[in-house]
Amino acid sequence: MVPGFVMEVRSKSDTVAKLKKKMTNVWMANGVQLAWLIDSHSQKAWACRAALPVDELPNFDSMLSGEPLLPGFELDLRDLKGG
């Protein structure tokens, strides 16, 4: 079984390049419909939706949306800002 939605938060021991590759070559290639990658260290996030290009959110001043798979589901990245 493949989940429809996957979210991964980068740990200090992971690289963004490795996790982005995993997002596209593993998750999406195996049928995941929506994948989020969150990097709290650089305050960036990526959203990958089936058959669409990867969206990069360059800072934590925005929202990640679960559309169209999870209508109304959002993550306010501002809540993750340190400070």
**How high is the pLDDT of residue 81?**
84
Q: How far apart, in Å, are the Cα atoms of 1 and each of 9, 51, 81? A: 22, 20, 34
Domain range for 60 is 5-80
**How high is the pLDDT of residue 35?**
97
Q: 61-66 long-range contacts, Cβ below 8 Å, gap at least 24?
A: 64/36, 64/38, 66/5, 66/34
CATH code of the domain in which 36 resides: 3.90.1570.10
What is the domain count for the chain? Answer: 1
pTM, entire model:
0.92
**How high is the pLDDT of residue 1?**
87
What CA–CA distance (Å, rounded) separates 71 from 74? Answer: 9
Summarised one tens digit per residue, pLDDT across range 40-72 is: 999 999 999 998 999 999 999 999 999 999 999
